[in-house]
């Protein structure tokens, strides 16, 4: 009697484990939570300064960037949450390879998180000096 050889499960042909993906998700969620908190602090500071200095307000660009950043953060939080649920549901498919849908989505999330981090640095570098130093009358009038 000839032994039948089973084909290996293509889904399990990879070397990417759930723990590998989960590690990055945890890091991203921590960074995103910090970014969200940082934006909220900046918004609070804008409100304090505008209340203490009538007529002062950063330009519309800064306020728009706060909104865009918070929306991007909410979106990526939802994507990560959804992906974590998908991975848990399909745990038996692991380990996976780089062509697997879960990994492709993971890579897309990685790119979005990088964009959020880059934008966060730009926001901080741009508005930080306006919010952290005492405002002169000239700064109040020019903004």
Residues of the chain with confidence (pLDDT) below 50: 2-11
Query: What pLDDT was estimated at residue 85?
Result: 95
Residue 8 lies in a domain: no
User: Which range of residues forms the domain containing residue 87?
Assistant: 14-142
Spatial separation of the C-alpha atoms in residues 58 and 63, rounded to whole Å: 7
Long-range contacts of range 112-119, CB-CB < 8 Å, 24 or more positions apart? 112/72, 112/75, 112/76, 112/79, 113/28, 113/31, 113/32, 113/76, 115/72, 116/32, 116/35, 116/69, 116/72, 116/73, 116/76, 117/31, 117/35, 119/65, 119/68, 119/69, 119/72
Please tell me the total count of domains within the chain.
Answer: 1
Is 113 within a domain? yes
Q: Is 88 among the domain residues?
A: yes
Query: What integer pLDDT is reported at residue 57 of this predicted model?
Result: 82
Question: Does 91 map to a domain?
Answer: yes
Q: What is the pLDDT of residues 41-68, one digit of tens each?
A: 999 999 998 898 888 888 888 899 999 9
Residue 122 resides in a domain: yes
pLDDT at 66: 94
* The pLDDT value given to residue 131: 86
Question: Considering the domain boundaries, does residue 81 fall inside one?
Answer: yes
């Amino acid at each position: 009697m000839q032994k039948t050889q089973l084909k290996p499960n293509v889904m399990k042909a990879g070397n990417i484990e759930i723990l590998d993906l989960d590690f990055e998700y945890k890091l991203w969620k921590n960074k995103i939570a910090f970014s969200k908190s940082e934006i909220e602090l900046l918004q609070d500071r804008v409100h304090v300064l505008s209340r203490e200095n009538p007529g002062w307000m950063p330009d519309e660009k800064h306020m728009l960037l706060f909104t865009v950043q918070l929306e991007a953060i909410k979106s990526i939080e939802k994507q990560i949450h959804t992906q974590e649920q998908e991975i848990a549901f399909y745990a038996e498919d692991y380990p996976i390879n780089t062509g697997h849908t879960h990994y492709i989505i993971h890579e897309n999330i990685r790119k979005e998180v990088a964009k959020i981090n880059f934008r966060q640095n730009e926001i901080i570098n741009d508005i930080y000096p306006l919010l952290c130093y005492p405002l002169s009358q000239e700064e109040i009038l020019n903004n």
